[in-house]
Structure 1
Amino acid sequence: MTRAILCSLLLLTLLIGIPLPASAQDQKVLATVNDIPITSFDIDARIHLWDLMGMNAKIPNARKKALNAIIDDIAKIAEAKKYRAEATEKEIQARLDRVAQNLKTDSTGLKAKLKKLGVSMSAMRQYLEAQIAFNRILSGKYKEKVEVSDAEVDAKFAEIKGQINGQLAKIKADPRMQPI
């Protein structure tokens, strides 16, 4: 019994000393936003997503910009939930269909392209959800309600028509407009 425990401990210490495979190293957590970890894998996926969508992912500091973009997306989604302006599943699916159409493929082809680049469908959905939600927040915040009655429209139209008729009368009365 004691020998089995010692063998187990020895095996455990040997395993701890073994370096992690590359795929495990890619999962290194770089930041945590609202209890959501952002890993190196997420950063690479965002850069590949930008490549797929035709954005210039080869920009200087692309990894830093990708990290900031993911942080922003998480914050946008959280803010949308706060204002109850989050994107619906139907809106996200419609946007996915539009992305697929722009890439001259269908949803199955889009999934295949994403998988080939190492981008998960959930990363794509998060990206689109953040865009939709943030647009909804901005439009709600800066949307102006303009209410004009028919009488106000008619009055403004009459005013403009009167100004035009006055200018037309001045032009016709100008001596330079008289026949020679």
Structure 2
Amino acid sequence: MRLRIVPVFFGLALMLAAPLATPSHAAIKIIVNDVPITDYDISQRARLITMTQRKSASIAKKQAEEELVDDQVKLAEAERVGIDVSKSEVDNAFNNIARNVKMSPAQLSKALRSGGVQPDTLKERLKAQLAWNQVLRSRFSGRIEV
């Protein structure tokens, strides 16, 4: 009887572990406001930082973790005050970056992919930045005098 139970448990363990080995099920490293930040998210942001800011991998990884936490806090605050950044706003910002580096959006996406970064990594960063800018504008719009 014992011999039959062990293979069943072993089989179940293999079935449960197999999906976790895929990149889409990366290990959760940090949870911010009930939003998980995975190893994959951190590695993608670190690659983006390395590509754009020419920092070493160890510094980029630490900075990536900090930025991802900050981004989740900014997005949560934006949601709290009723600000929602649309996909078209993010796409416009992405297109502006492409234009500034004299590329088409498709070329920028290809350049990011060649560096091991998914374009959505940059778009998520842009979404947090746009949301935060709107939060600041709404909060201080009537208070700043020049």
TM-score by length of 1: 0.63
Contact 2:30/2:38, CA 8 A, preserved across alignment: yes
Contact 1:48/1:57, CA 8 A, preserved across alignment: no
Q: Call closer, same or farther: CA 1:144–1:22 in 2, change over 3 Å.
A: same
Q: Which runs of 5+ in 2 are unaligned?
A: none
What is residue 116 of structure 1 aligned with on the other side? 114
Deviations 1:75-97 (A, max 9, x none): 11111111122322221111010
Kindly provide the amino acid, as one letter, of the partner of residue 117 in structure 1.
Answer: G
What is residue 100 of structure 1 aligned with on the other side? 98
What is residue 83 of structure 2 aligned with on the other side? 85
Kindly provide the amino acid, as one letter, of the partner of residue 31 in structure 1.
Answer: I
- Are 1:33 and 2:32 counterparts? yes
Distance 2:19 2:130 in 1: 38
Q: Call closer, same or farther: CA 1:21–1:30 in 2, change over 3 Å.
A: closer
Give the % identical residues. 25
- Are 1:61 and 2:59 counterparts? yes
Deviations 1:125-149 (A, max 9, x none): 2100100111111122222368xxx
What is residue 127 of structure 2 aligned with on the other side? 129
Larger radius of gyration: 1
Would you identify which runs of 4 or more consecutive aligned residues in structure 1 move more than 3 Å? 5-8, 13-16, 18-24
Q: Call closer, same or farther: CA 1:51–1:65 in 2, change over 3 Å.
A: closer
Contact 2:49/2:60, CA 8 A, preserved across alignment: no
TM-score by length of 2: 0.75
Deviations 1:37-76 (A, max 9, x none): 2122211111221233x32332863322210100110111
What is residue 150 of structure 1 aligned with on the other side? none
Deviations 1:157-180 (A, max 9, x none): xxxxxxxxxxxxxxxxxxxxxxxx
Q: Which runs of 5+ in 1 are unaligned?
A: 147-180
What is residue 47 of structure 2 aligned with on the other side? 48
Secondary structure in 2 aligned to 1:104?
A: coil
Q: Call closer, same or farther: CA 1:65–1:108 in 2, change over 3 Å.
A: same
Secondary structure in 2 aligned to 1:61?
A: helix
Post-superposition shift, 1:22?
7.7
CA RMSD of aligned residues (A): 3.4
- Are 1:140 and 2:138 counterparts? yes
Kindly provide the amino acid, as one letter, of the partner of residue 61 in structure 1.
Answer: I
Q: Call closer, same or farther: CA 1:84–1:62 in 2, change over 3 Å.
A: same
Distance 2:13 2:138 in 1: 58
Secondary structure in 2 aligned to 1:38?
A: strand
